[in-house]
Structure 1
Amino acid sequence: MKSIYDPWRKTAHLACWVLMGVLLLVGCASKPSPPPQRPSTPPVREEPRPTVSRPQPPQTPLPPTARPYTVLGQTYQPLTSADGFSEEGVASWYGPQFHAKRTASGEVYNMYDLTAAHRILPMQTKIRVTNLENGKAVVLRVNDRGPFVGNRIVDLSYKAAQELDVIRPGTAKVRVEALGRWPGGIPGRFFVQVGSFSQRENADRLMREMRAGGYSGSRTVQAEIDGQTFWRVQVGEFGNLDKAEAARSQIARQTPGAFVIAD
């Protein structure tokens, strides 16, 4: 016989199952959701840094006598320093045919001065030349370029050749030793040549600029070369070689070809 409580039990069981489903849904709903994933950060692109060029200190241009030059197909590179220089070879001499002509340094050659020509030693280098055949020695000043013949290493002035007894034989085996720079107080009348023009008005214009710049003794000098007339602008004047060289170094920053001459 059926119990009168059967329908109630079924109803109770059904309610129980419904309640458990609700609780399960609530429990799932209350469970914390995982945090959203952060979007991946794209790599930072580094822009190339601009290259900053640091200003270089202005360099004083080399005088013409310190630059490479070519004679008879042979190129020579003058030394920037004579420190420790020594060599042995053949010396020759030059005299009357060059007397009163310009040397490579711009000076007027005087064959009675104790000077010498060398291919690569700096101008105004003080040298001792010893005649290895008789032991005689003399101290000279380099103010010219040469010699350019065979194995010769130095060209002596007439006076220097006399001191070393080289006049009669013409050549001699010698030793050349650098003793430093010749003292700069060489007296004389020096100028710095800053330009040469075929038009007189261009030379006069530059000469006026030089005078306005503080070189009140500046001048223009006429010269004839191969039948053509040139006007040379020369800044000065200076009472010794050191002062002229100091002015040349300053002027050469604007006029790289400037060089010292002796009057």
Structure 2
Amino acid sequence: MDFNALCTQNWSRHFSIWIEDIQVVCHPVVTAPFQIQVNVLRKARSLSRYTAMVVVLLFSLHCTRPQATPVVTVPEAEAPEAADEPNEHSDAKVYTETGEASWYGAGDGFTGRATANGETFDPMDLTCAHRTLPFGTKLEVRNLDTGKRAILRVNDRGPFIRGRMLDVSEKAAKELGMHGRGTSRVRIRSVDTKGKPAPIDPAAMVGDAYTVQVAALTDPANIARISKELQSAVGPVNLVEARTRGGVTVKRVRVGSYATQDEAQKASDLISKLFRDRGLEPFITREN
């Protein structure tokens, strides 16, 4: 019969055969000099029976024990971005805005020129330009494309390009990871001197009137024509001379002087309605 290692009865049978072999070897009568050896073998035979029983018992337990279920380690999901620390101000009071940001620096010809608040522009300062926020406002700017952040101070007006919300300095662009890209989508919110979310001081929001910029033109005939039409339909027009990044001198055509942003918004909506066929897209900014 073939030996089956998985059958406990086969193990028991073969142990019995092994023990009987020992008995056969020990049966012949031997002389005295070999008596001690025979006695040792007899004791070994007796002990072997008990050993065989223990081995059979252990093997039976091993064969009947259920297979262990392998433990599969599942990697933990990446932790979400840490939430901002709680602060004493509600989200309703903290100024937030999302839009397109660009940057300006040494290569644009603005270095050494005066910013809107009278400072000398330094591209290596962490500053920015916004159309309406008070000068000195601290902003946390988060680049939504890279996740990088920087704390910037408003010291200039702009950007005066359609579809853009913020202009940052060259150093700020590097910290935000947008220097090589030119523009990025960002989210801004007002913060205090420690960089924690905080509302803008209401007193800082008054004293600098709002106005509506309609266009930036170079041709004198166009400037005169659009100015006349705007003044007739909406109100007084103000022309502000400025230089673009390309070094071109333009006249910014602006309408009205409004104490609140709501009043300026109504004027902007009216201009958009009256001049929609002219391709004009007015936006609100400050007079200074």
Q: Is TM-score (shorter-chain normalized) higher than 0.5?
A: no
Higher helix proportion: 2
Q: Which TM-score bucket, shorter chain as reference? A: 0.3 to 0.5
Higher relative CO (Cα under 8 Å, sequence separation at least 6) belongs to 1
Provide TM-score, normalisation by structure 2.
0.36
